[in-house]
Chains A and B, each alone.
Chain A
Amino acid sequence: MTERQEQHYVCISCPIGCPLRLVHEGDQIIEIEGQECNRGAKYARQEFTDPRRTFSTTVPITGAVYGRLPVKLSAPVPRQAIPAAMAAIRLLCAEAPVRLGQVLLRDVAGVAGVDVVACRTMDRVMIAPS
């Protein structure tokens, strides 16, 4: 028989930031309290079972107005996959022109369905000092 334990979270669904308490026995959620709306319960359940995050970074790009292209993940990855995702993105290099939403890498860090996509269009420009 597993013991009853509790986890504490701060809900990030909205600016109020309800302090949440989740009681569980092993993988079994017994109760969630502290939320002022049901988004809080949903958040606590997600945090307990599979906390996911997304992030943005940049990759080098040649032939564009700036030397970096902003990129993001198309969907959140499990939190512990962030370092692996960063490491994979670090190896990327883009060349202008790039379109907004263009996929630069599929299934980043082995997470199926999560792609690295360009966050902006970068046209090919003649670099001239202005």
Chain B
Amino acid sequence: MFGRMNRRYDVVVVGGGPAGLAAALGALDSGVSRVLVVEREPEPGGILRQCIHAGFGLHHFREELTGPEYAERFVTQAMDRDIDVAPHSYVTGLAVDSSGHRLVRVLSSRGGLATVECRSVVLAMGCRERTRGAVRIPGTRPAGIFTAGLAQKLLNLDGYLPGRRAVILGSGDIGLIMARRLTLEGCKVEGVFELMPYSNGLTRNVVQCLDDYGIPLHLSTTVTRIHGRDRIEAVTVAPVDEAGRPDAARAWDVPCDTLLLSIGLIPENELSESLGIALDVVTGGPKVDSTLATSLPGVFACGNVLHVHDLVDFVTEEALRAGRFAGEHARQIRRPRDAIALVPGANVRYCLPHTLSADRPHTVYMRAKTRMSPCILRVGNLLERKLRFVVPAEMIHLTIQPELLERFYEDRLQIDLLPVDGGGAP
């Protein structure tokens, strides 16, 4: 029930976005009945509520939905299946008592500080955006500099137009979508500037968000200075060489009153860190075994807090799984420990989960370091698959069947992406 919070649960989920809602539903599927979702916003749904564009659900629902529609399907299910949602609430800490129960400290604007007892916890806090500090843009510090997602929230949830004349740094999908959105609302978008020689967003978004509206995309170009005292007045942009060094001689100024930054996302793991959970330096999220359990017993992780996904459909899949394992854990069902470490090899930035077992099929998510086409995906000496096309912006997923792992007697399985003849490898 929305707004209800009891003292005891089987599973407590931290975060009510797409990951948290799917984890809660996954926990119910595993046979537990008491599930609480702790959400800091006034309602569940997470970032999808502000992602009003279409493109969600093509994998999970086999139809194209907008973010709010995708979210509502899960919110409705959660309410129908009697999941409790505590809005305006934060989890501030977690302890384990002598009988092995987890004690979750929840701070809420209505109920103050409360302690909730449970058997399993699912971390689903999502991620946040990198800011100006992360890329160290020189210049003054005026108003008018927003992360793209913040501008999206201001525009789509609160109804404020962030400015009249915008420059967008970074060509990830959020940046491209915001370029179109601002244009539709009457803000002039001067251009999208991308440090890399290619767009980090989907081609379809470059076409439908920039080309359709005549917004220029400047590749291998970055913002090198911010001007303005109270409000941003202009940015200096400059082309960069292969090493990413800006060429000041060819720089030019672009007048603007708004700068949007779409320069990457970071899993939001302050809570995980305070609990001493082991993190992966590459993903920025917890290290997890094949049940998506973190290094802290009874604590699971899924969605963007685990690693940044590009499609919500994969978040849903992963979170349903994490919820099921968390529910099993709450029911005291124990699985054998994983015996195989899964490690990234050539051209693989990361792969998840960090360990595997031979007792069931595993879904493995991974990201390439570079653009390759075509290439061969090799999993140890167990499996080879030819891929037509890989890019860092698109997660690769793969199912490894237990039959393959049963005959694998080593303790370390490496995943490589190898070029094939004629391929565009680095």
Contact = CB atoms under 8 A, between A and B. Distances in A.
Interface of A: 10-13, 15-17, 53-58, 60, 65-68, 70, 72, 79, 82, 86, 100, 119-121, 130
A32 to B, nearest CB: 17
A121 B69 CA distance: 9
Interface in B349-399: 388-389, 391, 394
Given A10-B203, A55-B184, A56-B54, A79 B212 contact: yes
Nearest to A58: B156
B184 A86 contact: yes
Nearest to A12: B204
A100 B76 CA distance: 11
Interface residues of B, number: 35
B7 interface: no
Given A16-B388, A72-B52, A120 B159 contact: no
Nearest to B53: A56
A15 B394 contact: yes
Contacts of B208: 12, 53
Given A12-B208, A53-B208, A65-B43, A119 B66 contact: yes
13 contacts: A10-B206, A11-B203, A17-B204, A55-B184, A56-B66, A60-B159, A66-B157, A70-B66, A70-B68, A70-B156, A79-B212, A100-B69, A119-B66
B88 A130 contact: yes
Interface in B52-105: 52-54, 66-69, 71-72, 88
Contacts, number: 78
B110 interface: yes
Given A12-B207, A67-B159, A120-B72, A57 B52 contact: yes
Given A100-B72, A120-B71, A15 B212 contact: no
B421 interface: no
A49 B203 CA distance: 21
B250 to A, nearest CB: 27
A98 to B, nearest CB: 11
Interface in B176-214: 180-181, 184-185, 202-204, 206-208, 212
A68 B204 contact: no
A55 B180 CA distance: 9
Contacts of A57: 52, 181, 184-185
Contacts of A121: 72
Contact of A54 (B54, B203, B389): B54
B236 to A, nearest CB: 30
Nearest to A69: B68
A108 B206 CA distance: 26
Nearest to A57: B184
B159 A130 contact: no
B77 to A, nearest CB: 13
B72 A10 contact: no
A120 B68 contact: yes
A43 to B, nearest CB: 10
B377 to A, nearest CB: 16
A126 to B, nearest CB: 12
Contacts of B110: 130
A72 B158 contact: no
Interface string B199-231: 000111011100010000000000000000000
A16 B180 contact: no
A54 B208 CA distance: 9
Nearest to A79: B212
Nearest to B69: A119
B197 to A, nearest CB: 15
Given A82-B184, A119-B66, 14 more contacts: A10-B203, A15-B202, A15-B203, A15-B204, A16-B389, A58-B159, A67-B158, A67-B159, A68-B159, A70-B52, A72-B66, A100-B69, A120-B68, A121-B72
